[in-house]
Amino acid sequence: MISRVLSAALMGIDAYLVEVEVSLEQGLFSFALVGLPDSAVKESRERVMAAIKNTGFQFPQKRVTVNLAPADIRKEGSSYDLPIAIGILAAFGVVAETRLADHLILGELALDGTVRPIHGALSVAWEARKKRVSGILLPEANAREAAIAQGARVYPIRTLREAVDFLNHQISIEPYQVDIQELFEDHRNYPVDFSDVKGQEHVKRALEVAAAGGHNILMLGPPGSGKTMLAKRLPTILPAMTLDEALETTKIHSVAGLLPPGQALIATRPFRSPHHTISDAGLIGGGKYPRPGEVSLAHHGVLFLDELPEFKKNVLEVMRQPMEDGRVTISRASVSITYPANFMLAAAMNPCPCGYYTDPNKECTCTPPQIQRYMSKISGPLLDRIDIHIEVPAVQYKDLASRHRGETSVQIRQRVQRAREIQLQRFRNVPHLFCNADMQSRDIHQYCQIDSEGQELLKMAINQLGLSARAYDRILKVSRTIADLAESERIFPEHVSEAIQYRTLDRNLWSAYSTP
């Protein structure tokens, strides 16, 4: 007696079909599970046996062999409980096999037969839709998320008994329906706004420029100056997410099991802020069985690294590849998985170990060697990938006491959106360019032409302010973004002048920091 049940497994953020084969043979009772199962899958034997018995069915006292095919790829998680239970009951003659060939089944079983939610429901539904599977039986808690993959009929299941009755045509279950556009609109609101921030107008402007060009940004200032508050509001001024971006972001969070309860779609730009004690696997992704890291969870959003010099150097260095490529590849002996990681980096740091080197109201207690060591923790190659450095001074009392509210995130976002549209139009025939931050040296020479007055200004800045060589291309890129915000085809000297102000760490400050 053999039965076959269609199920699915996750590989990165995508899914692939798995066939659960169950064989019942005469002999002493045993329950063997093969097909490279991990510990969670092996433990399903006890859950499946208890769930079948507690639901009122008889568990066959035979030799039970369950194979998860393809058998050469490791299977993870508890989502195979329901298909294994259905396969055993089908081989025992309890479940009719008419629907098993074209219905995909997934779910974790509680000991009483209740079906619990799983990870990666959206990815599974997307794969089922591509393979033209007739229907998907999923836990009720995952039905809304899976129904986002329009075209796949999703049947919400609450218990093992309900799944059996549905497969036996004893009850009918309506496919779960969701209005994806309505759901998308309902979840597009941010809980924070730029109008909450008092003062710091020049920093807000720098963040607007960063958002408009997709530039990475580093904020430098004493504790309590509002660096974190400003960074949390950066996603609110980025261009609104498209539906395709929302679906891809949701797939990553679903696979990681981080979708908020009751929320089937992530429609706002992610904001991830890992602690500085994070490991390289936590930041990039990895582990024995690879999982997406913070750089992937920040895909299409913002990755905020507070206290940047406190991060381990090896952790910061492994971040360079995803910053360059927009994706991260995790290789293991048996598998290589690629996760998307197209994020915008926002970082913050103090000017010295105690934090008060630039604060006019508090005295710095650090020695020059301490400041030098502190600043040197950030490598040159990492700084090469950060286009904007901006000083964030302590907030003045008059700004804190003011009742004036600044511009809202919506107002700023409209300007950012218009600048991004100009860039998309400019780069429409260049496949690898989507915003100004993506430009390489060859593209900068083509799209960032400046007149003789601008050239003279830039020459004077490099010679007199001591700007480093790496600053030259960065200033031109940021100048192009500032011109786009002004809806100007040409880069004028005032655009170059503003861009020069955003290279704080290049203005010979390394030596300045060493002489307080």
In this predicted structure, the answer to whether residue 514 has a pLDDT above a threshold of 70 is no
Quick: pLDDT tens for 227-280.
999 999 999 999 999 989 999 999 999 999 899 887 889 999 999 999 999 999
Contacts with 190 (C-beta within 8 Å, 6 or more apart), sequence order: 235, 236, 268, 409
In this predicted structure, the answer to whether residue 510 has a pLDDT above a threshold of 70 is no
Closest CA to 188 of 93, 268, 107: 268
Closest CA to 450 of 495, 481, 484, 419: 495
Report if residue 81 sits inside a domain.
Answer: yes
CB count in 10 Å sphere of residue 172:
8
Q: Which amino acid, one-letter code, is at 249?
A: T
Quick: pLDDT tens for 431-444.
888 899 999 888 99
Q: Please tell me the predicted confidence (pLDDT) of residue 397.
A: 65
Extended strands (E) in 353-489: 388-391
Torsion of CA 182, 184, 186, 191, to 10 degrees: -170
Which SS3 state, helix, strand or coil, does residue 343 take?
Answer: coil
The CATH code of the domain that includes 106 is 3.30.230.10
Q: Both tokens of residue 465?
A: 């302010």
Report if residue 434 sits inside a domain.
Answer: no
Average pLDDT over residues 34-48: 91
Report if residue 127 sits inside a domain.
Answer: yes
Q: What is the DSSP letter of 436?
A: G
Report if residue 144 sits inside a domain.
Answer: yes
Report if residue 130 sits inside a domain.
Answer: yes
Quick: pLDDT tens for 444-458.
999 999 999 999 998
The span from the CA of 458 to the CA of 331, in Å, is 44
Quick: pLDDT tens for 62-102.
999 999 999 888 888 899 999 999 999 999 999 999 999 99
Q: Please tell me the predicted confidence (pLDDT) of residue 123.
A: 94
Report if residue 78 sits inside a domain.
Answer: yes
Report if residue 403 sits inside a domain.
Answer: no
CB count in 10 Å sphere of residue 410:
14
Which SS3 state, helix, strand or coil, does residue 401 take?
Answer: helix
Contacts with 327 (C-beta within 8 Å, 6 or more apart), sequence order: 338, 339, 340, 341, 342
Burial of 179 by CB count in 10 Å (0-12 exposed, 13-18 middle, 19+ buried)?
exposed
* DSSP string of 223-283, one letter each residue: TTSSHHHHHHTGGGGSPPPPHHHHHHHHHHHHHTT-PPTT-----S--EE---TT--HHHH
Report if residue 106 sits inside a domain.
Answer: yes
Residue 285 backbone class (left: φ over 0; alpha: ψ -120 to 50; beta: rest): left
Q: Please tell me the predicted confidence (pLDDT) of residue 448.
A: 93
CA distances from 256 to 260, 294, 339, 438, 453 (A): 11, 10, 12, 28, 52
Q: Both tokens of residue 263?
A: 């929320």
CB count in 10 Å sphere of residue 54:
15
Q: Please tell me the predicted confidence (pLDDT) of residue 486.
A: 95
- pLDDT category of residue 507 using cuts at 50, 70 and 90: low
Quick: pLDDT tens for 257-266.
899 887 889 9
- The total number of structural domains that make up the chain: 1
The span from the CA of 143 to the CA of 54, in Å, is 25
For residue 139, the enclosing domain spans: 2-178
CA distances from 505 to 203, 351, 500 (A): 15, 10, 11
Mean pLDDT of the chain: 90
- Residue 208 near residue 237 (C-beta atoms within 8 A): yes
Sign, Cα dihedral of 2, 5, 6, 11: negative
Q: Both tokens of residue 290?
A: 């690879």
